């Protein structure tokens, strides 16, 4: 009899792309039935606090709150290299112009918000909302600016928004490191062998998607937000690549640096220990 395990991930093109190997049954784990739960990243962040899911994507900024429940996989991370979430507006062009204005943030526990606090300062009025509502909220004048993640990072100019700050570029200028935005976790309730098996099947799924890009893109575009094929390809390649197969020493250094800066800026009280789990090779 197969044991069911639940993998949580967002419906964003890059996450769906990573899971194509499993979803298409081309990648399997003997003795296990893998089910999917698709929710936006902030909902997954909240679920992870309760240890609900067996494997889940979360914002790396939220890991200090769930490190007792979960271990970070070396595979599956969404890493930006000199790019990342962007702060945009229709009417404002600089941070100085935004002082005292209202800025939409796609979730209290997102890495976007941690980066925003580090690089954009504290003198802005923040409103948390679902990331899909941010552009419309700016358009209607309900907020003055907003931080965009996911596909919004490549669509904002086409939709008439002005970039005030690329948080990924600011991070790179300060640290000379890639920016880890999202990671995948495996639940510590499992013994080491099962945790490694679950990590390995996920690694194989990411690898299968990269090796079968067109088919994986076709699958992922079911969940994309009105992207053309080439826009989807561009976005997925930004966040599913060699860093996703293995974050490596550089990725681990980047996570540790993010938490060091968060402690320095009094966003976190303490820096958590990071113990990665690797797939079997």
Q: In whole angstroms, what is the distance from residue 144 CA to residue 147 CA?
A: 11
Q: In whole angstroms, what is the distance from residue 254 CA to residue 92 CA?
A: 31
**Each residue of 227-240: pLDDT tens digit?**
788 888 988 998 89
Phi-psi region of 157 (alpha: psi -120 to 50; beta: other; left: phi over 0): alpha
Q: Which two tokens stand for residue 17?
A: 């792309």
Q: Please choose, from the candidates 81, 79, 53, the residue with its C-alpha nearest in 3D space to the C-alpha of residue 245.
A: 79
| Section 88-109 average pLDDT | 93
DSSP tag of 277: B
Task: Spell out the domain ranges in the chain.
Answer: 3-79+180-264, 86-175
List the end-to-end C-alpha distance of the chain, in Å, as a whole number: 27
SS3 275: coil
Note the pLDDT of residue 224: 66
Note the pLDDT of residue 50: 94
- Band (pLDDT 50/70/90 cuts) for residue 13 is confident
Q: What is the CA radius of gyration of the chain?
A: 18
Phi-psi region of 176 (alpha: psi -120 to 50; beta: other; left: phi over 0): left
**Each residue of 41-71: pLDDT tens digit?**
999 999 999 999 999 999 999 999 999 999 9
Question: 3-79+180-264 and 86-175 share one CATH topology?
Answer: yes
- The HSE-up count of residue 269 (CA atoms within 13 Å, CB side) is 1
CA angle at residue 180 from 35 to 226, to 5 degrees? 60
- Of the candidate CATH numbers 3.40.190.10, 3.40.50.1370, 3.50.50.60, 1.10.10.10, the domain formed by 3-79+180-264 belongs to 3.40.190.10
Note the pLDDT of residue 122: 65
Contact 256/274 with Cβ under 8 angstroms? yes
Q: Which two tokens stand for residue 170?
A: 């600011």
pTM: 0.93
What does the chain come to in residues? 281
* Higher-scoring residue by pLDDT: 111, 155: 111
Note the pLDDT of residue 25: 96
Judged against a pLDDT cut of 80, whether residue 159 lies above it is answered with no
Say which CATH superfamily domain 86-175 falls into.
Periplasmic binding protein-like II (3.40.190.10)
């Amino acid at each position: 009899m197969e044991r069911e395990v639940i993998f949580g991930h967002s419906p964003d093109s890059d996450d769906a792309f990573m899971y194509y190997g499993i979803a298409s049954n081309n990648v399997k784990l003997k003795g296990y039935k893998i089910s999917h739960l698709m929710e936006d990243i902030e909902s997954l962040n909240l679920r992870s606090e309760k240890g609900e899911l067996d494997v889940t994507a979360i914002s790396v900024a939220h890991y200090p709150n769930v490190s007792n429940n979960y271990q970070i996989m070396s595979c599956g991370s969404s890493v930006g290299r000199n790019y990342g979430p962007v702060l945009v507006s229709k009417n404002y062009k600089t941070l100085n112009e935004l002082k005292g204005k209202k800025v939409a943030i796609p979730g209290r526990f997102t890495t976007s918000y941690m980066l925003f606090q580090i690089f954009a300062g504290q003198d802005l009025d923040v409103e948390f909302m679902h990331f899909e509502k941010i552009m419309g909220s700016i358009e209607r004048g309900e907020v003055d600016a907003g931080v965009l993640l996911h596909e919004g990072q490549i669509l904002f100019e086409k939709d008439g928004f002005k970039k005030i700050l690329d948080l990924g570029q600011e991070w790179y200028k300060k640290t000379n490191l890639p920016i880890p935005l999202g990671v995948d976790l495996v639940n510590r309730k499992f013994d080491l062998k099962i945790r490694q098996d679950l990590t390995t099947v996920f690694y194989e799924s990411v690898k299968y998607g990269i090796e079968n890009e067109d088919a994986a893109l076709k699958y992922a575009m079911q969940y994309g937000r009105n992207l053309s094929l080439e826009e989807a390809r561009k976005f997925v390649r930004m966040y599913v690549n060699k860093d996703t197969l293995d974050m490596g020493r550089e990725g681990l250094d980047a996570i540790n640096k993010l938490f060091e800066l968060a402690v320095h800026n009094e966003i976190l009280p303490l820096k958590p220990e990071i113990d990665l789990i690797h797939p079997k090779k």
